[in-house]
Amino acid sequence: MGNREKLIQNSMSKTKTFLNAIDKQTIEIQYIDENLGSIDGEIFNIKTHLAEITNSEKLLLSKIENRNNNLNRNMEKLTEIEFENYFKNNEIVLKKMKNIYGNKILEKVNKTQKFKFMENIIGDHTYKKNKVNEFVKIISKFEETQEYFYSNINSLEAHFKKVFNFLT
């Protein structure tokens, strides 16, 4: 009878150890379930945000394409408009300059002014282009962060499956 009692005690001890392991695994599964629930909410938010960013990116790319297609024409129009405003605002001075220095000097002054207006417009365009490039960098960084997040989700799911398979 001594062996039988030992076997029973050993069996009870193993059963208790096994039940404790199951309890620990159950707690871990609950923790993983809670994390998955919060991660699902975060994934939804990220997907929504990504959709907004993608739409913004498409809109920006469309605007950039249209702007690039019309850039030279628009810059010439803007230069002409700015120059006309300059010419109207300085008409008296330019007439006196023409009388004093002649047409050649006046034409050189006009070319210089048109060139300066064009430089200003190009500078403005460059500034806007740099801002778009900054936005693209932000989108790239967001995508990197999202990839990192998805890899963490995948590792959590793999861990969950491993724990689940252990219990079954």
Average pLDDT (31-47) is 84
- Measure the CA dihedral 19/25/30/34, to 10°: 170
Average pLDDT (26-39) is 84
CA distance 42 to 51: 14
* pLDDT higher than threshold 80 for residue 15: yes
CA distance 125 to 146: 32
* pLDDT higher than threshold 70 for residue 168: no
Question: Is pLDDT larger for residue 105 or for residue 56?
Answer: 56
Tens of pLDDT, residues 74-97: 777 877 787 788 878 888 877 877
* pLDDT higher than threshold 70 for residue 16: yes
